[in-house]
A and B are shown apart, each in its own frame.
Chain A
Amino acid sequence: MLAEALVLSAILFVIGTLGVLVRRNAIIMFLCIELQLNAVNLSFVALARYLGIEGQLYVFFVMTVAAAEAAVGLAIIISIFRHYESVNVENFNLLKW
């Protein structure tokens, strides 16, 4: 089942990348980043079955970091929304040249 799980992980990662690149809604871009993290977690778990339990430990740590990242990222989105009244990344052009 290793090969199938790794292929599924790659497909989910590509879908997540595509989502980050094609959407303009900041919250959905953020959801797609979570999807990418999950794809990587899946390959960790699939390989942990062959290479030892440590792979599952790394997934545990990745999940913690992802939860912390979601909290801080959503706080930033709320802060930006208060300023621009929108979460569309087209409007955030202060750093654009």
Chain B
Amino acid sequence: MADIFFFIFAATAIGGGIGVVLQKNPVGSLLFMVGTLASIAGIYVLLDAHFLAAIQIMVYAGAVMVLFLFVIMLLNLGHDYRDDIKTGLLLFLAFATAGAIGGLLARQLRGAADNPILAHFPGPEGMEQLLAEQGIVGAIARPLFTDYVVAFELTGILLLVALVGAVAIAKRKV
């Protein structure tokens, strides 16, 4: 059952990704991206990451994509249908680079799922036990506020700096 859902979500994610690249209208691209992000959130649920699935929908598909939409509307690019895909040698080089990266990833991935090192870790059963004991929020929050608390606080400072920087850059007169 989970496998069927996985393949449905995988197909919509890949289709949405191709749509993002091929769609001429920026708003259309953005809507395909929202579809891809929602499919990835569905896959997160299948992989026992319910909290991240909720964050993915709220922060990514909600906030970040709306920010993109605001900028597209603000700059009035919504009816810009000009074909901006590169042609000729540049297109060939782009495909060659992407193909090379894909080949390297494929080479790394071959046999990754039955790597002997996975046997040293608890695996999905250990994860299910952890979730049964603490729930997904507890399982994430406990290390987040103990071992990783410095990183967590620094993230807050990073967000503040990004906020001030974004306002300063966008407000400046050119």
Contacts and interface: CB of A to CB of B under 8 A. Distances in A.
A51 B80 CA distance: 46
Interface residues of A, number: 68
A10 B167 CA distance: 35
Contacts of A42: 40, 43-44
Contacts of A27: 26, 68, 71-72, 77
The majority secondary structure among interface residues of chain B is helix
B121 to A, nearest CB: 5
Contacts of B13: 8, 12
3 closest cross-chain pairs (CB), A and B: A68-B162, A21-B94, A3-B113
Interface of B: 2-3, 6, 10, 13-14, 17-18, 20-21, 26, 29-30, 33, 36-37, 40, 43-44, 46-49, 51-52, 55-56, 59-60, 63-64, 67-68, 71-72, 74-75, 77, 80, 84-86, 90-91, 93-95, 97-99, 101-102, 105-106, 109, 112-113, 118, 121-124, 127, 130, 139-140, 143-144, 148, 151, 155, 158-159, 161-163, 165-167, 169-170, 172, 174
